[in-house]
Amino acid sequence: MPGNLSFEALKQRVADGQIDTVLVCLVDMQGRLMGKRFLAQFFIESAYKETHSCNYLLATDLEMATVDGYASTSWSAGYGDYVMKPDLATLRVIPWLEGTAMVLCDVLDHHTQEEIPHSPRAVLKRQVARLADLGLKPMMATELEFFLFRESFDDLRNSAYRDMTTISAYNEDYHIFQTTKEEGVMRQIRNGLYGAGIPVECSKGEADAGQEEINVKYSDALDTADNHVITKNGCKEMAWQSGRALTFLAKWHHKAAGSSSHVHQSLWTLDGKPAFFDPDGEYGMSDLMRSYLAGLLTHASEITYFLAPYINSYKRFAEGTFAPTKAIWSLDNRTAGYRLVGDGTSSVRVECRVGGSDLNPYLAMSALIAAGIDGIENKLTLEAEFKGDAYDAAKLRGIPENLRGAAVALDKSKMLRGAMGDDVIDHYVRAANWEQEDFDQKVTDYEVSRGFERA
């Protein structure tokens, strides 16, 4: 569902003194919220129409470095402004921040007032529009995992992220007693997000010590992506308020499980019927669903960057960890990259298990939709399902083993260039290459500890 606060209700709460601050946010390339805190009275008088931000916000890395090589913005072009246009349908109360509301923005060109093509929200809206032209609507959900730590963010930073202590000492997958001990944080997260209009279903312990999962009800793709980024930001803020730290890093330690963001996806007709379901089809799959899934598999390597955008992302793909290593489909099989779920029912859907918790949901969903559309438009034939343990199977379609390989596949993708535009793909290829270039220049702790004396 969208935000839980109308503009008229915001005016009333401002007049009553209940709300004094409005967070006005855009979503950056990394899926983070960037923006400004407005005095609520000024927002309802003026800033609800638009505000501005530096255009470098869509051309920086995780460190907010101004990276060379982007066509859209540079030092030579002077780093001008973008327009932030509040989408008032996303307006909501933020219960865990006193007197605060939030709104998400579309990002527009200052002169043309057109959406910036590589803005994550714009990228997804373009793919949603393509589906609408086919009479279809994408419904999606993301399962979001993270690790919770006993220490605070400041404590961990000051210790250079050494000797970190997870909130529990053992695997807590579905474990009620252990998760009871974590309720001081997790209850606050569930109730806080729900109070912000995020339709939280549940939280649970995941497959390692200190690993958590938060599940939010499925919705249309744009709403799901909006909920995802607000959820991540809210989880961090509420953990911080409790004196704890958490991370959405895909692989925080080589001995720990990775954290994923599985993406469930199905298509509906514009009048609300499940287009993936055919009661007479195998497993209840319609021909349209089979073609969509064939598109996901055909273009699996090309779309991987949008599911795994960092060097660290590829450390997660390891055998025996419930993270996939093969881009194949299988019925209710957690060793496969693409799992068929809800077979034989109107809820039949595809779960993409490739994405990590570090993905940008707008970009990930956009890539999945684009691949699926290609499958539909070209009536691609779905390969036979895989049965068994995909980790042990040889000669199956693999997931790119590193960021370098994923960036090459992205750059060469005619499908994605046709779906998103050369300017968008070139922009994100540059982002991928910069991550690799930056890492290649750094000396890691591994190298020093391994070779300092023995090399």
Residue recorded with tokens 């983070």 = 32
| Residue 181: CB atoms within 10 Å | 12
Nearest residue to 322 via CA among 227, 228, 211, 167: 211
| Cα 42 from Cα 72, distance rounded (Å) | 31
Under the banding of pLDDT at 50, 70 and 90, the label for residue 76 is confident
In the numeric block, which tokens belong to residue 154?
């400041």
Mean pLDDT, the chain, integer: 96
Question: CB–CB of 152/245 below 8 Å?
Answer: yes
> Per residue in 112-157, pLDDT tens?
999 999 999 999 999 999 999 999 999 999 999 999 999 999 999 9
Q: Is the pLDDT of residue 228 over 70?
A: yes
Non-local CB neighbours of 396 within 8 Å, separated by 6+ positions: 326, 327, 328, 386, 390
Task: Give the span between the Cα atoms of 148 and 187, in whole angstroms.
Answer: 13
- Give the pLDDT band (50/70/90) at residue 395: confident
Q: Do residues 215 and 143 lie in contact, with contact meaning Cβ atoms separated by under 8 Å?
A: yes
The terminus-to-terminus CA distance of the chain in angstroms comes to 57
Pairing of strands 338-341, 329-331: parallel
Q: What are phi and psi of 15, to 5 degrees?
A: -65, -35
In this prediction, residues 256-266 reach a mean pLDDT of 97
Which one-letter amino acid corresponds to residue 257? A
Angle formed at CA 308 by CA 333 and CA 193, multiple of 5 degrees: 80
Residue entry with tokens 């220049």: 441
Q: Which residues pair with 82 in a beta bridge?
A: 53, 109
Six-digit token string for 405: 């390989």
SS3 assignment, position 330: strand
What are the distances in angstroms from CA 24 to CA 10, 33, 34, 172, 398? 14, 9, 8, 37, 41
Amino acid symbol at 355:
G
The answer on pLDDT for 55 being more than 90 is yes
Identify the DSSP state of 159. Answer: T
* pLDDT > 80? residue 1: no
State residue 74's pLDDT score.
83
Give the pLDDT of residue 77: 84
Mean pLDDT in residue range 219-226: 98
**Residue 43 exposure: Cα atoms within 13 Å on the Cβ side:** 28
Distance CA 11, CA 8 (A): 5
- All structural domains of the chain, each given as residue ranges with its CATH number in brackets, are 7-116 (3.10.20.70), 127-446 (3.30.590.10)
**SS3 at position 361:** helix
Task: State the average pLDDT over residues 399-423.
Answer: 97
